[in-house]
Amino acid sequence: MSQHTPALAIETAGLVKTFGETRAVDGVDLAVPAGTVYGVLGPNGAGKTTTVKMLATLLRPDGGEAHVFGHDVVREADEVRGRVSLTGQYASVDEDLTGTENLVLLGRLLGHSKQAARRRSEQLLEAFGLSEAAAKQVKHYSGGMRRRIDIAASILNTPDLLFLDEPTTGLDPRSRNQVWDIVRAVVAQGTTVLLTTQYLDEADQLASRIAVIDHGKVIAEGTKGELKASVGAGSVHLRLRDPGQRPDAERVLRATLDADVQLEPDPVALTARLSSATGDSAAEEASRALAELARTGITVDNFSLGQPSLDEVFLALTGHDTGQDSGQDLGRDSKDEVAA
Amino acid sequence: MSTATTSEAKELAPVSAESLAELLVTGERPPRPSALSASLTFGWRAMLKIKHVPEQLFDVTAFPIMMVLMYTYLFGGALAGSPKEYIQFLLPGILVMSVVMITMYTGVSVNTDIEKGVFDRFRSLPIWRPSTMVGYLLGDAVRYTLASAVMLTVGIILGYRPDGGVVGVVTGIALLVVFSFAFSWIWTMFGLLLRTEKSVMGVSMMVIFPLTFLSNVFVDPKTMPGWLQAFVNNSPITHLSSAVRELMAGDWPADEIAWSLGWAGVLMLVFGPITMRLYNRK
């Protein structure tokens, strides 16, 4: 199998999809190397799902070309379908059926005998920690279980290319980590993964290359390092004990970090956006700032080191924000939470 | 919902990376299933849904019983002197009418699946494209057979005596099920075309009521005005109910059977490809 696999799992040129007046996908060029995780990052409505649907032969492109393992997604749709698998909120499993029934059904549709489909579904449910829920209808599954069964259904036959369309949207952090572990295990076996996500840290955790999409266009593409360098090192969020000390803290941070400091709606909170210009890591910069604050006698209750959020990436790349409530962005503040 | 989610998530067993890796490596890829096998698998899915949601059989049990009782006693005295005499004429017709009416639920289930999100998974599989649709219809054929059996039982209790015996009755029902299978392609089309379950129901009613009532199910068309006779005498439902009526009475109405099967063929040839085109374009 692997010797027949071309170097590129996905190659698109000027891919376009319009819905009425809207150009949902507006000339997307992608080149996804086989055997890697490729992240497609963008806010809701950026055109991520539409792109995936075209690549998975579910939607017909209105312009441009797309090849999956060298097969045209329109003219050779059947060949493409034989090699890819899809997991997304729209390509799910049957809620009325049990976990086992769903997997056996799909196993049969993929050509397995009854016994083989049953055996495979048992093994998958076991591996995904769903054995106990095997006989339960999927509508009674929790969000995390639901995502596991969705992914299990996608790897009944090990696909050469797996589309994961926002696999962790709406999951709690713990279930999210578990999904990430699954993705890593799948990739380790040689499957190429196209991951769409709204969360920079998810792309950061899993993907080797990332394309940022906005309004149906790829606005940035590169390795994680390249992308981050264009955005900055991240930010430090601080909570002070005394709101009266906030102006002092703001001054100290500006002086020490040469950073853009933002006052939060919460009167004790403030955020400093770190620049990568100094060459120091975000952690080094943050500890320098904390030391300086302590010396000035400002009491810090709590601080966290945040990755640049998707909002910040967008701001840096496009000059406008994602137009979304930043409270939705789980990527922010999820890491390195430290009580001072 | 959220509380249940959290507590379940905590109990959720961890994913075993090793056994997962093993599964991914050993996963051989079997040859694709045949068109028949894929269709039957989708039919099996329809059966599983009946098993899990038996309430959905309400429309093929309670509804037909209601139809038989209602029309037998409502019209029986006026049209044929007594309900008992009327049911000899009515039962095959009302059987056709009820089963043809039940076919419209096919469109609703197609539409529900699209909304629930399982549909795109099926569409992304390398299988014979129409098998998903054929699967719905195979499952529905079982429902039509069940509805027919229920109505026939009620009819016999009320005094219906088919002279055609078991052979006549079974042939009649078989013809009805075959016709309904073909007729349902209209609904798969609407199920794919319309955006909500409600609109599917609405449009279905608009088609099904005139089509089934403007037929020879209740009365002999000779009493109708000429223009209506022209419509009624050429309606597929009239041909079908004449065929079923005569089959159950022990005759062999070759013409009417040919008309019914001919209509079935035309319906399938027209709406089958439209359905598949919509399915591929969705």
B153 pLDDT tier (thresholds 50, 70, 90): very high
Taking alpha carbons only, the member of B253, B251, B225, B252 closest to residue B239 is B253
Sheet with A63-68: list strands edge to edge.
Answer: A22-33, A8-19, A63-68, A71-72
Mean of per-residue pLDDT scores for chain B:
88
Q: Do B24 and A153 touch (CB under 8 A)?
A: no
Q: How many helices (H) and strands (E) does chain A have?
A: 11, 15
> Which helix (H) or strand (E) element contains residue B182?
helix B165-183
Confidence (pLDDT) at A280? 63
Distance between CA atoms of A38 and A165, rounded to whole angstroms? 12
Q: Which residue of B has its CA nearest to A92?
A: B118
Task: Reply yes or no on whether the pLDDT at B165 is more than 50.
Answer: yes
Question: Which residues lie below 8 Å from residue B202, measured CB to CB, with a gap of 6+?
Answer: none
Mode of pairing for the β-strands spanning A8-19 and A22-33: antiparallel
Kindly state the average pLDDT of the residues B56-67: 88
CB pairs under 8 A between A and B: 163
Of A122-136, A197-211, A278-292, A308-322, the poorest mean pLDDT is in: A308-322
Confidence (pLDDT) at B108? 87
DSSP string, B62-90: HHHHHHHHHHHHHHHHHHHSSHHHHHHHH
Give residue-wise pLDDT tens across range A226-250.
777 666 667 788 899 988 899 998 8
Could you state, in order of their start, the residue ranges of all structural domains in chain B?
Answer: 54-281
Q: Does B41 touch chain A (CB under 8 A)?
A: yes
Task: Reply yes or no on whether the pLDDT at B3 is more than 60.
Answer: no
Give residue-wise pLDDT tens across range A47-106.
999 999 999 999 999 999 999 999 999 999 999 999 999 998 777 899 999 999 999 999
Task: Reply yes or no on whether the pLDDT at A335 is more than 70.
Answer: no
Q: Do B32 and A113 touch (CB under 8 A)?
A: no
Nearest CA distance, B56 vs chain A (angstrom): 12
Confidence (pLDDT) at B173? 95
Task: Reply yes or no on whether the pLDDT at A307 is more than 80.
Answer: no
Q: Do B20 and A128 touch (CB under 8 A)?
A: yes
Q: Do A189 and B49 touch (CB under 8 A)?
A: no
Of B9, B20, B119, the CB nearest to A185: B20
Q: Do A81 and B126 touch (CB under 8 A)?
A: yes
Q: Do A90 and B117 touch (CB under 8 A)?
A: yes
Q: Which residue of A has its CA nearest to B32?
A: A111
Alpha-carbon separation of residue B249 from A241, B99, B149, B162 (angstroms): 93, 19, 17, 5
Of B12, B45, B118, the CB nearest to A144: B12
Distance between CA atoms of B257 and B272, rounded to whole angstroms? 21
Confidence (pLDDT) at A325? 44
Domains of chain A: 2-228 (3.40.50.300), 232-339 (3.30.70.100)
Confidence (pLDDT) at B105? 87
Of A83-97, B160-174, B175-189, the poorest mean pLDDT is in: A83-97
Chain B positions touching A129 (Cβ under 8 A) are 12-16
Mutate to test the interface with B, among A110, A149, A150, A172 (most CBs of B within 10 A): A110
Percent of all residues in chain A with a pLDDT value above 70, rounded to a whole number: 86
Nearest CA distance, B255 vs chain A (angstrom): 41
Cα four-point dihedral sign B272, B276, B279, B282: negative
Task: Reply yes or no on whether the pLDDT at A318 is more than 80.
Answer: no
Torsion of CA A221, A224, A225, A231, to 10 degrees: 70
Q: Which residue of A has its CA nearest to B29?
A: A157
Alpha-carbon separation of residue A191 from A34, A82, A225, A259, B272 (angstroms): 8, 14, 23, 42, 37
Confidence (pLDDT) at B171? 96
Give residue-wise pLDDT tens across range B197-250.
889 889 999 999 999 999 988 888 888 898 999 899 999 999 999 999 999 999
Nearest CA distance, B34 vs chain A (angstrom): 8
Confidence (pLDDT) at B35? 94
Task: Reply yes or no on whether the pLDDT at A135 is more than 90.
Answer: yes
Mutate to test the interface with B, among A54, A94, A102, A106 (most CBs of B within 10 A): A94
Question: Which residues lie below 8 Å from residue A176, measured CB to CB, with a gap of 6+?
Answer: A168, A202, A330
Question: Which residues lie below 8 Å from residue B280, measured CB to CB, with a gap of 6+?
Answer: B129
Task: Reply yes or no on whether the pLDDT at B75 is more than 50.
Answer: yes
Mean of per-residue pLDDT scores for chain A:
84
Sheet with A269-274: list strands edge to edge.
Answer: A260-263, A269-274, A234-240, A300-306, A337-339
Give residue-wise pLDDT tens across range B140-149.
999 999 999 9
Give residue-wise pLDDT tens across range B254-276.
999 999 999 999 999 999 999 99
Kindly state the average pLDDT of the residues B74-85: 85
Chain A positions touching B123 (Cβ under 8 A) are 57-58
Chain B positions touching A97 (Cβ under 8 A) are 45, 48-49, 52
Of A108, A129, A155, the CB nearest to B33: A108
Q: N- to C-terminal Cα distance for chain B?
A: 32
Confidence (pLDDT) at B186? 94
Task: Reply yes or no on whether the pLDDT at B189 is more than 60.
Answer: yes
Of A86, A137, A178, the CB nearest to B15: A178
A336 pLDDT tier (thresholds 50, 70, 90): very low
Tokens representing residue B199 in the block: 């609109």
A334 pLDDT tier (thresholds 50, 70, 90): very low
Chain B positions touching A76 (Cβ under 8 A) are none
Listed by number, the residues of chain B in 85-114 with a beta carbon closer than 8 Å to a beta carbon of chain A are: 113
Give residue-wise pLDDT tens across range B94-104.
999 999 999 98
Q: Where are the alpha helices (DSSP H) in B128-164?
A: 131-158
Task: Reply yes or no on whether the pLDDT at A253 is more than 90.
Answer: no
Nearest CA distance, B132 vs chain A (angstrom): 10
How does DSSP classify residue B203?
A: H
Task: Reply yes or no on whether the pLDDT at B10 is more than 60.
Answer: no
Tokens representing residue B49 in the block: 């849904």
A21 pLDDT tier (thresholds 50, 70, 90): confident
How many angstroms from the chain centroid is the CA of residue A264?
27
Distance between CA atoms of A46 and B187, rounded to whole angstroms? 34
How does DSSP classify residue B127?
A: S
Task: Reply yes or no on whether the pLDDT at A2 is more than 50.
Answer: no
Kindly state the average pLDDT of the residues A152-164: 92
Task: Reply yes or no on whether the pLDDT at B8 is more than 60.
Answer: no
Task: Reply yes or no on whether the pLDDT at A276 is more than 60.
Answer: no
Confidence (pLDDT) at A124? 92
